[in-house]
Structure 1
């Protein structure tokens, strides 16, 4: 385990204790998630806000505690390990960064203060024809009297159905390169002309299509500079990839611990199945991989905290790639080791599988992460 400061160790221990008390049993989690359908429970999230945890990466000016990336990763990791249904945290934390760096004072006051009080934010970038190729965005923001009219469709928008605002990226210019002419907007989800439709998935209610039809946004909805969304997006990739990695580290560790508990208790041929070499070696390999993930994540978080404005495309992509692939492997191996029980909804392993299998797709696929890493070597 990576070295933690006394404050970080205390923070992690507090989260673990909270989760044991509030989400420690299957019955508690079922009650909070409508039996696994909902990924986020607003009441539980509000309790965490009251404890001051949701503002860990936000300035005290807006109600936060001014923590760094390491503390944000700790929160994502430990709540994920504790199976706390606070699925709105990752998109909220990622959305906070552009507002903090580029937003107006009014936007910061509204959005960042809201986050510390338990409000959820969402990010709207992907489109039906613009996923990995985000520069292919066609959702249009057209100038009109006093602001902009938005028309187009976004998809795979996590948490839009219970978010306060969408951090929208739309095209405001078509001249120049594909990466030019994109602008960020702050869009209240209740704005006329915005329609949010859920997309059913294996993991319940998480993602949405969002349709914009002559949606009017005033001038002060622009976040940062007009036509400069691309460099603003790039500046926030460290936080997105690291937080996704930290969350999957927590889920992967939970799947690992559940598997170990099972193979110690389950007996076949007169002894625990974990004593068989095939499973013992499998456990050893998975434990080693998870330890590597933890060391990588918190090393990159430390680098980010030491130089907040530094771009870390190679390191952040490595953390996201390694951890999501490892978490998925742990869950798949967990199902295999538990046999039919790993597939049964009576146990948590099948939910670990559903949660981790998509992690190598969202936030930039494993293939895209490998491509980014390769480019940093001049390839």
Structure 2
């Protein structure tokens, strides 16, 4: 696909942009939908996206989806991020949904994928207080009981969208082997013993602690095979990293356009500040980096769609690394170019920065991505 979109994809992008302009086009609209920037997800607006059929963009038609590919989902994420559409639950939903699609039972797929298309939010719970980048160190334990049910005890942390979710895809330890002892579970949020507590962050209402105390799940709650959780997680890396990259590409584009608009209008010393070489060269560098990021994401997405059973660990990590670092740099440079206005909450740039700066941490830090890329070269 490269940088070119099909006619259908171009129409899809145009429709998303029109929706974003109508529903989130003003600061007043966005503040009303996000509690003044405190939350990244508005259930009412998310329901309208479901009504348009967009939430199932890359889910199979037999479960109500549109049957599109990763490239289509990346376009949706890029454009909703650019339009500042508060649909923050979509990323975790589509990441978890793809795991259910590949490894879940038919009953699980019909419930979970169908629900995602209709507007249900999914969350995925891996990280723990002692297991972040080293997911294989997690200690949340799932023990099989004599009647075949599972008893789960433990804590998860930094879990995105759990407070909006209907179901959580839980990764727990079922055996002593570091990687071979992990299993995925289907966990309805209303299950007795599940407690969700929000974690205050500078990004607002985003992540949570999830406490699991005496949680009982039925024998058929496993998603995939017992002990295959690690392999199943690795199989989903293309999706997770590409989706996060596409989201940050949209944010980088928005931060760039906001900065460009400001420096084109703001005058000092009798002319627009953007006409000074120092800022003009910054804009040139950022525009080049954003374009490189866009081409990389679209190329990797096209490769993944063409070879859905193949892992692209190097390319997916490159996309995530490049997009998140570019978004962070663009927001920082945007704030610098806007001066005090970039720091003021009256403008969106400080919001862009808060959203961008954490992107180099979640979903695998930039340091982890670089390490993974290096390993693919035999280092």
TM-score (norm 2): 0.99
For 2:305, the equivalent position in structure 1 comes to 305
Query: What CA distance in whole angstroms lies between the structure 2 residues aligned with 1:262 and 1:2?
Result: 28
Deviation at 1:162, TM superposition (A): 1.1
Deviation at 1:30, TM superposition (A): 0.6
Query: What CA distance in whole angstroms lies between the structure 1 residues aligned with 2:131 and 2:107?
Result: 31
Q: Aligned Cα RMSD in Å?
A: 0.7
Deviation at 1:222, TM superposition (A): 0.4
For 1:59, the equivalent position in structure 2 comes to 60
For 2:174, the equivalent position in structure 1 comes to 172
Secondary structure at the residue paired with 2:283? helix
Say whether 1:159 aligns with 2:161. Answer: yes
Secondary structure at the residue paired with 2:133? coil
Say whether 1:68 aligns with 2:80. Answer: no
For 2:363, the equivalent position in structure 1 comes to 363
For 2:290, the equivalent position in structure 1 comes to 290
Pairing of 1:268-287 with structure 2 (within 5 A): 268-287=268-287
Pairing of 1:195-210 with structure 2 (within 5 A): 195-210=195-210
Secondary structure at the residue paired with 1:131? coil
TM-score (norm 1): 0.99
Say whether 1:146 aligns with 2:142. Answer: no
For 1:94, the equivalent position in structure 2 comes to 95
Deviation at 1:146, TM superposition (A): 3.2
Secondary structure at the residue paired with 1:213? strand
Instruction: State the aligned residue count.
Output: 377
For 2:44, the equivalent position in structure 1 comes to 43
Moved beyond 6 Å, runs of 4+: none
Q: 1:182-230: CA deviations, max 9, x gaps?
A: 0000000110011110000001100000111110000111000011101
Say whether 1:5 aligns with 2:6. Answer: yes
Query: What CA distance in whole angstroms lies between the structure 2 residues aligned with 1:146 and 1:190?
Result: 21
Deviation at 1:39, TM superposition (A): 1.0
Say whether 1:212 aligns with 2:212. Answer: yes
Query: What CA distance in whole angstroms lies between the structure 2 residues aligned with 1:155 and 1:139?
Result: 11
Deviation at 1:309, TM superposition (A): 0.9
Query: What CA distance in whole angstroms lies between the structure 1 residues aligned with 2:111 and 2:189?
Result: 14
Secondary structure at the residue paired with 2:360? coil
For 2:352, the equivalent position in structure 1 comes to 352
Pairing of 1:107-126 with structure 2 (within 5 A): 107-126=108-127
Structure 1 unaligned blocks of 5 or more: none
Pairing of 1:330-341 with structure 2 (within 5 A): 330-341=330-341
Query: What CA distance in whole angstroms lies between the structure 1 residues aligned with 2:52 and 2:142?
Result: 39
Q: 1:30-61: CA deviations, max 9, x gaps?
A: 11111111110011111111111000111111
Pairing of 1:175-190 with structure 2 (within 5 A): 176=177, 178-190=178-190
Query: What CA distance in whole angstroms lies between the structure 2 residues aligned with 1:101 and 1:146?
Result: 24
For 1:21, the equivalent position in structure 2 comes to 22
Query: What CA distance in whole angstroms lies between the structure 2 residues aligned with 1:333 and 1:126?
Result: 31
